[in-house]
Amino acid sequence: MIVSGSSIAMNTLLGESMKIADVQVIRFSVEAEDYGTKWGYGQRGPKRRVPRGLIKITTDDGESGFDTQYGWDGYYEPPSVEETENIIKPLLVGEDPRNIEKLWQWMMAHRGFSETTIGSIDCALWDLMGKLANSPTYQVLGGARDKVKAYASTYPNLGNPDVYAEHAKEAVARGYKAFKVHAYIFWDPINDCPAPGKPAFPKQDIEVCESVRAAVGNDIVLMLDPWSVYTYQESLMVGRQLEKLDYYWLEHPMDERRMEPYKQLTKELDINIMGPEMEPGSFYTRANWAF
């Protein structure tokens, strides 16, 4: 498509007008093994088909940009037909899709757009920009490198520590140099059944972490993500143990709606604390967290 791409790039260069003609949410389903427990997050189960969504933004030139929306048992759902027709399209259709910053500001000022929807539309517009520039989007954004490090990770509630150890060894055998543990989250490992997030099971989580470190040796980078279920005291206790096990980070151990406990935790611990993940507020919130 280099010819088409070049021709569009030339139009862009010439400042020709371009308008968003349509926004569609393409729904489809995929095979997945994750199930939510009634208290949240998930557990692994038999394969089944679950709904997913894809946002497609089309211009009057027939160009398009895409973004996938994560869909997970009612979490982070793609926009509904009503949202798309009543809120998204009235704002976007007729606008120049290259004014990405302006459209982002409009969406952020509008109460009808969720942050996940704004993120998807933003990504679809950048995908379109990459096509207009006949370039990978990462270069349109100012390419600095074309590789990133990857780590393997786990479902939560995989089983006993041996199951995690086996999984980590398989990941290392496949070439991974780093591995992140999701241990017992919304799950009671003693009675092996779903449970509320609090009380959590930090001691059992540490047993998993110990088992994984013993299985992969000292050269593999390891992380733990307890998905915000710990109290402050539990976070401190687990953090100290992870330091002894030479883990690389402890990921958002506590509820992110309170920042002060995180400030205190980072003072007390040497291990990296990763966060925020789920706190809304886009980069405004992230700026507050950059301590």
Binding residues vs a copy of itself (CB under 8 A): 36, 38-41, 73-75, 80, 82-83, 86-87, 90-91, 105-106, 108-112, 196-198, 228-229, 255, 257-259, 278-282, 284-285, 287-288
In the bound complex, what is the minimum distance in angstroms from residue 186's beta carbon to a copy of itself? Answer: 8
In the bound complex, what is the minimum distance in angstroms from residue 7's beta carbon to a copy of itself? Answer: 31
Integer-rounded Cα Rg, in Å, for the chain is 22
Give how far the C-alpha of residue 230 lies from the chain's centroid of Cα atoms, to the nearest Å: 20
- In the complex with a copy of itself, the residue whose CB is nearer, 111 or 147, is 111
Helix (H, G, I), strand (E, B) or coil at 65: strand
What string of DSSP letters covers 5-24?
Answer: HHHHHHHHHTT----EEEEE
- In the complex with a copy of itself, the residue whose CB is nearer, 251 or 279, is 279
- Gap between the Cα atoms of 3 and 236, Å rounded: 58
In the bound complex, what is the minimum distance in angstroms from residue 37's beta carbon to a copy of itself? Answer: 9
- In the complex with a copy of itself, the residue whose CB is nearer, 5 or 51, is 51
In the bound complex, what is the minimum distance in angstroms from residue 156's beta carbon to a copy of itself? Answer: 13
Beta strand 20-37 pairing with 40-59: antiparallel
| Sequence-distant (≥ 6) Cβ neighbours of residue 79 within 8 angstroms | 25, 53, 55, 69, 87, 88, 114, 117
- In the complex with a copy of itself, the residue whose CB is nearer, 15 or 74, is 74
In the bound complex, what is the minimum distance in angstroms from residue 91's beta carbon to a copy of itself? Answer: 5
Q: Which residue has the tokens 């307890």?
A: 226
- Gap between the Cα atoms of 65 and 128, Å rounded: 4
In the bound complex, what is the minimum distance in angstroms from residue 86's beta carbon to a copy of itself? Answer: 5
- In the complex with a copy of itself, the residue whose CB is nearer, 136 or 280, is 280
Run of H or E including 155: none
Strand partners, 19: none
- In the complex with a copy of itself, the residue whose CB is nearer, 44 or 177, is 44
Structure token digits, residue 253: 């151990």
- Gap between the Cα atoms of 229 and 232, Å rounded: 10
- Gap between the Cα atoms of 73 and 247, Å rounded: 31
- In the complex with a copy of itself, the residue whose CB is nearer, 64 or 99, is 99
In the bound complex, what is the minimum distance in angstroms from residue 288's beta carbon to a copy of itself? Answer: 7
